[in-house]
Structure 1
Amino acid sequence: MKKAVLYLSIITTSLLLTSCLKKEDQKNEIKSKKYTKLEDVKWLIGSWGNTTKEGNLTETWSQKNDSTLSGKTTFIAGKDTLFTETIEIIQTKDSLFYNTSVSNQNEGKIISFKSSFASKNEIVFENSKHDFPQKIEYKKIASDSLVAKISGNKQGKESFEEYPMKKK
């Protein structure tokens, strides 16, 4: 009888431990899968730039938290900062959003673009209600280069601008 109780105690304890381990593994699995869309665009993290005769473009990305990448874009010509943009790419549920605030535009309000396409090498955000651009794209060319492109309807005409950048 004592052996039966001992065996039963060992089996019960083993089942309880196994059950707890499985629940913890499931929690970790859910936590690691929670922001998978954001994981696919982490190649943006780092400092990127391009120098042309018009000036110096710099875009820097970092991870703010599990669900957010934080970015800042500046364009400097000579000693003058002509353009500053603060950006966040946020994963909310199964969607990515590109939220931007551009200096001296839109009364300082944040403009949001929703991802319409995302892969490990490209991300596209769109907002058909915005004046220009309506589409923002980032395409990874190689581990040290990307092209950012803005496009849409500008004063009744289709227009786009491309910004090739190298990792610094």
Structure 2
Amino acid sequence: MKKYLVFLAIGLSFQISAVAQNKSIKQFSFMLGTWDKKTEKGKLSETWVRTKDGLLGKSYKHSLKGDSILMETVVIKKIDNDFYFCVTGAQEDKTKMVKFKLISFEDKLLMFENKTHDFPQRIVYENKGRDNLFAWIWGVSNGKEGKLEFNYKRRK
């Protein structure tokens, strides 16, 4: 019985690894389009487009006057056998890229993680239907846990 369980566990681990490697960038397509979140000072928006190698996202902050500022640029792409969420512009050094590895990929939820980053350590996107996208960032900074949530609506 123990031998059977060991072989079953080994088989399952190979199967899970193969499934993770067979994920396609097409499965990120629920993120495509422009998404808005209204705030007291204006709105936040993210625009995602498909590229040859993955997805390109740009995040903007819009004032009530209509001015907009590019906050960060993101590329989701496969590096070796893993997908990464590669962010540029969110740090003090606006040219530095920070990579978050895809650690969980379910039909409606993507979770990226970089345990060595100051904040956040996790970035999550959840498909809430055709016109709703829920994202959040989570992490620990200075010994305190924090989470920021973004309920986006598809721009029509």
Query: Normalised by the shorter chain, which TM-score bucket?
Result: 0.7 to 0.9
From the superposition, tell whether residues 153 and 82 of structure 1 become closer, same or farther in structure 2 (CA, over 3 Å): farther
Residue 143 of structure 1: aligned partner: 130
Structure 1 residue 81 displacement after superposition: 4.2
The superposition leaves residues 17-60 of structure 1 with CA deviations (integer Å, 9 ceiling, x where unpaired) of xxxxxxxxxxxxxxxxx974312111111111111213211100
User: Is there any run of 5+ residues in structure 2 with no aligned partner, and where?
Assistant: 1-20
Residue 78 of structure 1: aligned partner: 64
TM-score relative to the length of structure 1: 0.73
The superposition leaves residues 84-118 of structure 1 with CA deviations (integer Å, 9 ceiling, x where unpaired) of 11000002343110000125623520001000011
Residue 155 of structure 1: aligned partner: 142
Residue 81 of structure 2: aligned partner: 94
From the superposition, tell whether residues 165 and 96 of structure 1 become closer, same or farther in structure 2 (CA, over 3 Å): same
User: Is there any run of 5+ residues in structure 1 with no aligned partner, and where?
Assistant: 1-33
Give the aligned CA root-mean-square deviation in angstroms.
Answer: 1.9
Paired with 2:94 and 2:34, the residues of 1 have a C-alpha distance of: 27
Residue 69 of structure 1: aligned partner: 55
Q: Is the 8 A contact 1:132 1:151 kept in 2?
A: yes
Identity of aligned residues (%): 29
Residue correspondences, number = 134
Paired with 1:104 and 1:135, the residues of 2 have a C-alpha distance of: 15
Greater shift in the superposed pair: 154-163 or 85-94: 85-94
